């Protein structure tokens, strides 16, 4: 490929990656701000999925920039060398500088990855509790140690309203499923029932909201917080009593 054409291609790829990062960054900041992952989507993609696109665009931009430096290394090194030493650079010096630059970048990248993984810590109290701070401070086992304390209308129904009804409700039924109908949870469809009363370990609903089912569409959009999953497990373990509904399930938007 002609060198000029190659340089132009690299520059266009860098511009495309940069525009993708700007566009997805705008989406993550304004149309889909933090807290909307389970309740909103844009063009059939959740906030987590747009975040993945944003991350891959950043990785693509980094790769293209590295290629750009490789293609212009001789010029870049010659300019820096001339500025520092006021003399032309020998070919051997350019090669040594390239090896050193690669080693430094790889070391810095490895240290960053190590620090990022080591620095992760699990919070004792979620930053965004489901209810008030007093309830958030208690562990799921503390709040629901008595299975009789879990009430469908008070505890379980709000989870379905906040996380499921927008895509699986009266106005929209993705995959033909409705979260406002008891039979859709308990009656077998193309697979086993979503809920097996008394057996949360074999209930597909728990596997889906826990992220164990990875081969389904928008798997990340179905994930629930640990306290919500614990509550659903407790409810199912107690028999999954679905009490009569005085009103239709409604979609709730995050404040």
Digit-by-digit pLDDT tens for the chain (255 residues) are: 677 888 889 899 999 999 999 999 999 988 888 767 767 888 888 888 899 999 999 999 999 999 988 888 888 888 887 888 777 777 788 888 888 888 998 999 899 888 988 887 765 554 444 444 444 444 444 444 444 578 888 889 999 888 888 888 888 888 888 888 888 898 876 567 899 999 999 999 999 998 888 777 778 888 898 889 999 999 999 888 887 654 445 444 443
End-to-end Cα spacing for the chain = 55
CA 189, CA 202: separation in Å to the nearest integer?
A: 16
| Residue whose token pair is 């919070």 | 123
| Amino acid 45: pLDDT | 87
pLDDT, residue 133, reads 42
Q: What is the pLDDT of residue 189?
A: 65
Residues 6+ apart with CB under 8 A from 206: 200, 229, 232, 233, 236
pLDDT of residue 218: 76
Each domain of the chain, given as residue ranges in start order, spans 3-102, 133-237
DSSP secondary structure string for all residues of the chain: --HHHHHHHHHHHHHHHHHHHHHHHHHHHTTS-TT-TTT--BTTB-HHHHHHHHHHHHHHHHHHHHHHHHHTHHHHHHHHHHHHHSSPPPHHHHHHHHHHHHHHHHHHHHHHHHHHHHT----SS-SS-SS-HHHHHS-HHHHTSSGGG--IIIIIHHHHHHHTTTTBSSS-BGGG--TT-HHHHHS--SSS-S--TT-GGG-HHHHHHTT---SSTTGGGG---HHHHHHHHHHHHTT---PPPSS--------
Give the model's pLDDT for residue 6: 86
């Amino acid at each position: 490929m002609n060198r000029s054409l190659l340089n132009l291609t690299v520059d266009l790829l860098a511009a495309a990656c940069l525009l993708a990062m700007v566009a997805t960054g705008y989406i993550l900041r304004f149309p889909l701000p933090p807290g909307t992952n389970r309740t909103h989507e844009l063009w059939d993609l959740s906030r987590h999925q747009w975040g993945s696109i944003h991350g891959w665009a950043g990785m693509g931009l980094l790769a293209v920039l590295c290629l750009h430096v490789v293609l212009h290394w001789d010029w870049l090194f010659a300019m820096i060398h001339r500025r520092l030493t006021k003399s032309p650079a020998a070919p051997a010096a350019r090669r040594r500088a390239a090896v050193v630059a690669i080693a430094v970048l790889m070391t810095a990248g490895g240290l960053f990855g190590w620090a990022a993984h080591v620095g992760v810590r699990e919070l004792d109290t979620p930053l965004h509790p489901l209810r008030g701070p007093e309830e958030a401070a208690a562990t799921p086992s503390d709040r629901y140690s008595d299975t009789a304390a879990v009430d469908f209308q008070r505890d379980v129904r709000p989870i379905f309203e906040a996380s499921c009804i927008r895509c699986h409700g009266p106005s929209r039924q993705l995959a033909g499923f409705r979260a406002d109908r008891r039979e859709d949870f308990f009656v077998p469809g193309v697979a086993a029932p979503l809920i097996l009363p008394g057996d949360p370990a074999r209930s597909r609903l728990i596997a889906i909201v826990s992220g164990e089912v990875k081969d389904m569409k928008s798997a990340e959009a179905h994930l629930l917080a640990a306290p919500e999953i614990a509550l659903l497990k407790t409810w199912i373990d107690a028999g999954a009593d679905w009490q009569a509904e005085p009103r239709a399930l409604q979609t709730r938007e995050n404040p």
